[in-house]
């Protein structure tokens, strides 16, 4: 599916930017606001862990059908549908009266975000084939910016509006409406209709036999486990250690803020394939320092430890960039993206639940932090496989 002559690169780039910004705003805000939500709605630690596990779970299952639906209706139209679904879910979550609305609204919103997550690498391959690392850098940078804004400003926005935790969630929901505008223009300017495309040239089921796809999925799963624990649970860890609420929000915003710099640098560095393995090992070591610091000196060294956490989060742009580089076609990238996220998020979904349950058993965050340190081992191991240049189409049949 190609853009029409009337669809400019500037419009496409602006559409990528606003979609990427929208994909993390509503997700990261939940971690910052969770302590207040738990008090207001009487949510237990176990239930809170389940709520934090919803993003990776929904991203996993929704991603399975995304390539098939995209082949039927078109990538651009599916993005429009995804933003409508996401906006509706965010509004329900913010305005609903209780726990059921909180979970249901979050679930609906995440379906839309999951579709955007899967489609984005393929859209970049499709529209910017000669600038994959550059546009991926822009994309991941906007993801990090959205995460930073929602983590760091959710509580200040709540205070500025003299509202509850619901107020910032409504503000972030408005971003989905803004993101719709350029995508409506792109969708209506698309030269190819939904009828002109029936099947993807890279069937998703074929990736089950691809070692590259499995390595990518495991790597994505492990890094997402760390990210969802950082954005979902470290706020509670810091509060329980004696850090104030406002300072906690600022500390949580450090990781995605540093992620902005990492998002700019990592895709460019990966133009040199030999840097992939050293980069993965270095980022894993940064996570290790951060977890150890939070376990040993959570208050006095909090700024330092969150800095290392932010650098460790550079594993996210590493995986996203490799997804875009490890297939020759847009169909191949979308299929690899879908498989990577389906399997990877299922792995990552276990971490927030396990983190909360381990705490409930021992009434301490130390065992939970040790658990996360152990999970750094598979990240380093799988990184050695992904460092070798390979392509999806060389491992599976296409149609």
Mean pLDDT by 10 residues, the chain (399 residues): 58 90 83 85 82 79 82 87 92 89 92 90 85 86 82 86 89 87 84 48 79 92 89 87 84 80 86 84 94 92 92 90 85 87 84 87 89 91 82 74
**Residue 304 CB: number of other CB atoms within 10 A?**
13
Rg (CA), the chain: 20
Contact yes or no for 34/52 (Cβ under 8 A): yes
Helices 99-127 and 75-95: angle between axes, nearest 10 degrees: 160
Burial of 74 (0-12, 13-18, 19+ CB in 10 A): buried
Q: Residue 289's Cα: distance from chain center in Å?
A: 23
Q: Give the integer Cα–Cα distance in Å for 216 and 211.
A: 9
Q: Give the integer Cα–Cα distance in Å for 108 and 274.
A: 41
Q: What are the phi and psi torsion angles at 3 (to 5°)?
A: -75, 150
In a domain, 202, yes or no: no
- With CA atoms as reference, report the closest residue to 41 among 164, 204, 225, 135: 164
Q: Give the integer Cα–Cα distance in Å for 274 and 269.
A: 9
Query: Which one-letter DSSP state was computed for residue 201?
Result: S
Report the pLDDT value the prediction gives residue 191, as an integer from 0 to 100.
Answer: 54
In a domain, 2, yes or no: no
**Domain count across the chain:** 1
In a domain, 1, yes or no: no
Say which CATH number the domain at 28 has. 1.20.1250.20
Q: Give the integer Cα–Cα distance in Å for 225 and 170.
A: 27
Report the pLDDT value the prediction gives residue 2, as an integer from 0 to 100.
Answer: 46
In a domain, 315, yes or no: yes
In a domain, 292, yes or no: yes
Q: Any bridge partners for residue 3, and if so which?
A: 190
Q: How many residues belong to the chain? A: 399
Q: Give the integer Cα–Cα distance in Å for 214 and 384.
A: 13
Give alpha helix (H) positions in 270-392: 276-296, 302-312, 315-325, 330-362, 366-374, 376-386
The SS3 of residue 32 is helix
Report the pLDDT value the prediction gives residue 360, as an integer from 0 to 100.
Answer: 85
In a domain, 327, yes or no: yes
Domain with 50, as residue range(s), is: 9-191+207-390
Give the HSE-up count for residue 183: Cα atoms under 13 Å, Cβ half-sphere.
25
Report the pLDDT value the prediction gives residue 81, as an integer from 0 to 100.
Answer: 93
**Residue 8 CB: number of other CB atoms within 10 A?**
14
Report the pLDDT value the prediction gives residue 1, as an integer from 0 to 100.
Answer: 42
Buried b (16+ CB within 10 A) or exposed e, 121-135: bbbbbbbbeeebbeb
Report the pLDDT value the prediction gives residue 194, as an integer from 0 to 100.
Answer: 42
The SS3 of residue 128 is coil
In a domain, 3, yes or no: no
In a domain, 118, yes or no: yes
């Amino acid at each position: 599916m190609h853009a029409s002559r009337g669809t400019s690169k500037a419009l496409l780039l602006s559409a990528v930017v606003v979609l990427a910004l929208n994909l993390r705003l509503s997700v990261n805000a939940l971690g910052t606001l969770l302590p207040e939500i738990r008090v207001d709605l009487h949510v237990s630690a176990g239930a809170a862990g389940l709520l934090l596990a919803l993003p990776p779970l929904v991203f996993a299952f929704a991603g399975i059908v995304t390539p098939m639906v995209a082949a039927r209706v078109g990538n651009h139209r599916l993005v429009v549908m995804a933003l409508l679904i996401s906006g509706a879910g965010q509004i329900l979550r913010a305005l609903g009266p209780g726990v059921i609305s909180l979970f249901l609204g979050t679930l609906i919103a995440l379906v839309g975000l999951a579709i955007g997550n899967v489609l984005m690498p393929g859209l970049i391959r499709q529209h910017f084939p000669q600038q994959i690392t550059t546009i991926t850098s822009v994309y991941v940078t906007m993801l990090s910016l959205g995460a930073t804004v929602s983590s760091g400003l959710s509580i200040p926005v709540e205070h500025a509006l003299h509202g509850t935790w619901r107020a910032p969630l409504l503000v972030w929901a408005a971003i989905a409406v803004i993101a719709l505008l350029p995508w409506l223009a792109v969708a209506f300017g698309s030269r190819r209709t939904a009828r002109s495309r029936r099947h993807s040239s890279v069937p998703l089921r074929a990736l089950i036999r691809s070692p590259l796809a499995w390595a990518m999925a495991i790597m994505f799963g492990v890094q997402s486990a760390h990210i969802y624990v950082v954005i979902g649970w470290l706020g509670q860890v810091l509060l329980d250690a004696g850090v104030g609420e406002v300072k906690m929000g600022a500390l949580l915003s450090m990781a995605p803020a540093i992620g902005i710099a990492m998002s700019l640098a990592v895709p460019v560095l990966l133009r040199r394939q030999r840097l992939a393995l050293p980069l993965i090992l270095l980022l894993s070591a940064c996570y290790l320092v951060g977890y150890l610091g939070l376990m040993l000196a959570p208050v006095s060294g909090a700024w330092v430890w969150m800095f290392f956490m932010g650098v460790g989060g550079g594993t996210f742009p590493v995986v996203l960039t490799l997804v875009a580089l490890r297939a020759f076609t847009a169909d191949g990238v979308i299929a690899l993206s879908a498989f990577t996220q389906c399997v990877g998020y299922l792995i990552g979904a276990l971490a927030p639940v396990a983190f909360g349950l381990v705490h409930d058993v021992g009434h301490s965050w130390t065992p939970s932090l040790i658990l996360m340190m152990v999970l750094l081992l598979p990240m380093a191991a799988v990184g050695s496989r992904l460092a070798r240049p390979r392509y999806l189409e060389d491992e599976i049949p296409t149609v």
